[in-house]
Amino acid sequence: MTIGRTLAVVLTVCAGALMATQSNVNGRLGRGVGTLQAATISFGVGLVVIVVLTLAFGGGLSSIAKAGSLPGWTLLGGAMGAAIVAISLVSVRVLGTGGLTAGLVAGQLTLAIVIDRFNIFGFGYHALDATRIAGVLLLVAGTWLILRH
């Protein structure tokens, strides 16, 4: 599926809003059933949703067999997602939604500019210039301001 830049920005902002909500929903679920149990339920529901979307809009599941020919590290995204959900389940209770989100975004953006700079995954090179460094420093300052209490 290919989309334009404007739609990509809108969808990304919406996904960010969903992430802030998701940590609270999962946190509440975790209080009721347990942390890892909540992560299991969350991923189970997510699996059902993504399979339905794949069948309805993504051309089916037949290309999944191609994953076996890809480098093993390409399958780690699910494990990374599980770690993010599990960490968020426990951290949101301590840091609150704002603190959790600030920490997630700070870590995400800091590593993202390094990935872009060295084109680690082959999606294109983006220079590590003063503007990008300033953006990360401002984000780190904002994260500190949110987490300082």
pLDDT at 16: 87
Q: How many domains does the chain have?
A: 1
Total Cβ atoms within 10 A of residue 75: 11
Distances (CA, A) of 15 to 49, 96, 105, 119, 138: 15, 19, 13, 24, 22
Q: What pLDDT digit, counting tens, does each position of 60-102 carry?
A: 999 999 999 999 999 999 999 999 999 999 999 999 999 999 9
Query: pTM of this prediction?
Result: 0.81
Q: What is the Cα–Cα distance from 98 to 14, expressed in whole angstroms?
A: 16
Tell whether the model's pLDDT for residue 103 goes beyond 90: yes
Give residue 119's domain range: 5-147
pLDDT at 123: 87
Phi, psi angle pair for 128, to nearest 5°: -95, 85
Q: What pLDDT digit, counting tens, does each position of 4-27 carry?
A: 889 988 988 899 889 889 989 999
State both tokens at 91.
Answer: 């951290």
